[in-house]
Amino acid sequence: MLVEVEKIAKFPGSPLLAQVNTAVGRTAVRWCGDPAAELGEYHVEWTVDEEIFWGRNAKPAVGAGPEIRPGGHFVVLRGRLSLTEDGVGMLDLDGTVILLDLADPLPDGVGSTWVELYVERENIALYPYEL
């Protein structure tokens, strides 16, 4: 996904965070690139380093369409949830696929629906890469 890095900062007791703007919203998440990176556009891979529990940090979406938004110390990711044949969860966030570690099997009928994930911002990481 292409993001615009607006700010990179380190706060006491917190990992390096980047304020990013995307086509579907803006938020602050953990930055796993160069701490001295220039501000600007980067292609990034998103990872979620938190187990997903349906009904706790994953719920049916309140709307449709992809979205990224802050929610206090959490980041809300809204996308389409699907499963691979071997049960790995995937969130399609505006064409970017994020692999998910599901704590339990999903309820029937949840696959291919719009969901919202509520993840601590320190547990979402951006890894920049070059095309």
Angle among Cα 67, 107, 79 to the nearest 5 degrees reads: 10
Tell me the pLDDT tens digit for each residue of 21-42.
999 999 999 999 999 999 999 9
- Report helix, strand or coil for 122: helix
Tell me the pLDDT tens digit for each residue of 47-86.
999 999 999 999 999 888 999 999 888 999 999 999 888 8
Beta strand 16-22 pairing with 51-52: unpaired
* Structural tokens at position 9: 């900062």
Burial 56-68 (b: 16+ CB within 10 A, else e): ebbeebeeeebbb
